[in-house]
Amino acid sequence: MKPNKNHHLETRSLFAGYDPSENFGAVKPPIHPASTFVFPSARAGAALMETAYGIEGAETPEGDGFIYSRLGNPTLTVAEKRLATWDGADAAAFFASGMAAISTTLMAHTSKERPLYYVGPLYGGTQHIIDYILPEMGVEVVKLDSLDDLESMGKPESLPGMVYLETPANPTLQVHDIELATNWTKSNSTEEERILVVVDNTFLGPIIQRPLELGADLNVYSATKYIGGHSDLIAGGVSGEAKAMAKVYEYRTFFGGMADPWTSWLLARSMETLHIRAKRQTESARKVLDFLQEKPGVPRNGINNVLSAWEQDLAGKSDYKNAAIVKKQQKNGGAMLAFELPGGRKAAHAFLDSLEVFQLAVSLGSTESLAEHPASMTHAGVSTEDKERTGITEGLVRLSIGLENADDLIADIEQALEAARLSLEEKNALR
């Protein structure tokens, strides 16, 4: 089948990047574990190499050609074309990890002359790069309390290279208005100095949220999560507008962080079921969220606070103005939830240790449901000040809803909450 623009997205993405007629009719793409590729002629090799290195006046290569798998690989190309199709992007790039994708993007578009603006909270690894590595390289970092700060600051003297945000944020599910960021960057950019909006879209992926359609320049992903979706690979992804992607490709070439052929094949396979998995996971997450709230906006007895990116959950909460943002930029609230247990770390750990269906593990977005304690696990390296500021408390537990029956997940949470309650009562009795 040859997809066309009239086909729905899930149809186009299923066949993007691969033509069986070019591979003996094989319905699935082959894996190309080659490190290097034979040139058909010296002239063709020169054209490929000079183009890859951006040599001025280079001859344009004829058709797709490959040189060396650090620069590109046929299996990698299939996966990247599928991600670009899902995101509606000019181009996409896969990396050996989410952190490779994020760090390469940050370094490609910030410098001593072009600061980084960001709003938190962020994944702990990203926060570490921003707090420690970029400043050591001379990059000024400006932390925004919210994107509203952009509107009040006016035109900065040194234009940032990018405004970076996660939405929903990890792990507390705050949502940020992507259009607010893109409107500010467009009004402050110049022809010589363009400010990019970069959105970490890991928590929702291209099914539920499409930042590029809201004016963002680049999506970044931990593709280990929903895009890979089976807890059997490590990868990162970036997709977006061609000019912004060109520099990402350049830095990936010289940092050497591209995904390998086997990982690329797994990613291409996983994206074929992305829409089915997202539908089931979000349906189950909504059921779990309804259980956690005895009535709308009121957490179940024994839980201090329930956090989600669902519009129905956000509506009416005095600490959120974000229901309208969710309605504007998300299809639904996704499959990530969090809640806070009274009793801090002891209660949270007791809850986690009592789970039977949920797996106690970091990561998210996979076929199995996962649970973790952000303060001591994914965000262990985040400063106490930043944890307090962004609501990463000692009692916070994060859940990633998988493909199990939702009733089994609810029963598991219920019995683990009772175990946490009993552990807290025991602790109080010993005082």
- The CATH number for 295's domain is 3.90.1150.10
Q: What is the mean pLDDT of the chain?
A: 92
Give me the residues paired with residue 219 across strands: 199, 239
Q: Say whether both 288 and 395 belong to one domain.
A: yes
Exposed (0-12), middle (13-18) or buried (19+): which is 302, by Cβ within 10 Å?
middle
Identify the weakest region by mean pLDDT among 54-63, 140-149, 219-228, 346-355: 54-63
List, as own/partner pairs, every contact residues 356-364 make where C-beta atoms lie below 8 angstroms and the sequence separation is at least 24, other chains included.
356/412, 356/415, 356/416, 357/404, 357/408, 357/409, 357/411, 357/412, 358/399, 358/409, 358/412, 358/413, 358/416, 363/224, 363/225, 363/231, 363/400, 364/202, 364/203, 364/225, 364/336, 364/398, 364/400
Q: At what angle do helices 98-109 and 242-255 cross, to 10 degrees?
A: 110
Which one, of 264, 204, 250, 226, lies nearest residue 366 by Cα?
A: 226
Residue 290: strand, helix, or coil: helix
What is the three-state SS of 178-240? HHHHHHHHHHHCCCCCCCEEEEECCCCHHHHECHHHHCCCEEEEECHHHHHCCCCCCCEEEEE
Residue 142: strand, helix, or coil: strand
Q: State yes or no: pLDDT of 64 exceeds 80.
A: no
CA angle centred on 349, ends 345 and 354, rounded to 5°: 155
What is the DSSP track for 27-62? SSPPP---SB---SSHHHHHHHHHHHTT-TTPPPPS
Q: Say whether both 260 and 291 belong to one domain.
A: no
Q: Say whether both 218 and 285 belong to one domain.
A: no
Residue 318: per-residue pLDDT: 44
The CA radius of gyration of the chain, in Å to the nearest whole number, is 23
Q: How far apart are CA 347 and CA 343, in angstroms?
A: 5
Q: Tokens for 229?
A: 């979706």
State the average pLDDT over residues 140-158: 89
pTM of the model: 0.93
Query: Which residue did the predictor score with more confidence, 4 or 81?
Result: 81
Q: What is the pLDDT of residues 265-311, one digit of tens each?
A: 999 999 999 999 999 999 999 999 999 987 767 788 778 889 999 98
Q: State yes or no: pLDDT of 29 exceeds 90.
A: yes
Q: State yes or no: pLDDT of 430 exceeds 60.
A: no
Q: Could you tell me the CATH number of the domain that includes residue 264?
A: 3.40.640.10
By DSSP bridging, strand 162-166 and strand 116-119 are: parallel
Q: Say whether both 198 and 318 belong to one domain.
A: no
Residue-range definition of the domain harbouring residue 389: 275-429
Q: Which of 206, 237, 272 is the last residue of a domain?
A: 272
* pLDDT band, very low/low/confident/very high, at 221 (cuts 50, 70, 90): very high
Q: How far apart are CA 227 and CA 263, in angstroms?
A: 12
Q: Which of 221, 253, 272 is the last residue of a domain?
A: 272
Classify residue 337: in a domain, yes or no.
yes
Q: Say whether both 223 and 291 belong to one domain.
A: no
Q: State yes or no: pLDDT of 316 exceeds 60.
A: no
Which one, of 12, 30, 25, lies nearest residue 271 by Cα?
A: 12
Exposed (0-12), middle (13-18) or buried (19+): which is 18, by Cβ within 10 Å?
buried
State the average pLDDT over residues 322-331: 92
By DSSP bridging, strand 370-372 and strand 396-400 are: antiparallel
Q: Which of 272, 288, 309 is the last residue of a domain?
A: 272
Residue 167: per-residue pLDDT: 96
In the chain, what percentage of residues exceed pLDDT 90?
Answer: 75
Q: State yes or no: pLDDT of 115 exceeds 50.
A: yes
Q: State yes or no: pLDDT of 356 exceeds 90.
A: yes
Query: Which residue did the predictor score with more confidence, 379 or 318?
Result: 379
One-letter amino acid of 107:
M
Residue 20: per-residue pLDDT: 86
Q: Are 185 and 151 in contact (CB under 8 A)?
A: no
Classify residue 59: in a domain, yes or no.
no
Which one, of 162, 170, 173, 252, lies nearest residue 216 by Cα?
A: 162
Domain count, the chain: 2
Q: What is the pLDDT of residues 402-422, one digit of tens each?
A: 999 999 999 999 999 998 888
Query: 14: part of which helix (H) or strand (E)?
Result: helix 9-15
Q: Say whether both 409 and 286 belong to one domain.
A: yes
Q: At what angle do helices 274-292 and 406-429 cross, to 10 degrees?
A: 40
Classify residue 2: in a domain, yes or no.
no
Classify residue 64: in a domain, yes or no.
no
Q: How far apart are CA 151 and CA 173, in angstroms?
A: 23
Residue 171: asked if its preceding bond is cis (omega within 30°), the reply is yes
Q: Say whether both 229 and 321 belong to one domain.
A: no
Q: Say whether both 27 and 166 belong to one domain.
A: yes
Residue 72 burial (CB count, 10 A): 20
For 402, which DSSP code? -
Residue 314: per-residue pLDDT: 67
Q: Say whether both 236 and 361 belong to one domain.
A: no
State the average pLDDT over residues 256-269: 97
Number of H helices, E strands in the chain: 17, 14
Query: Which residue did the predictor score with more confidence, 300 or 370?
Result: 370
Q: What is the pLDDT of residues 168-194, one digit of tens each?
A: 999 999 999 999 999 999 999 998 899
* pLDDT band, very low/low/confident/very high, at 334 (cuts 50, 70, 90): very high
Classify residue 159: in a domain, yes or no.
yes
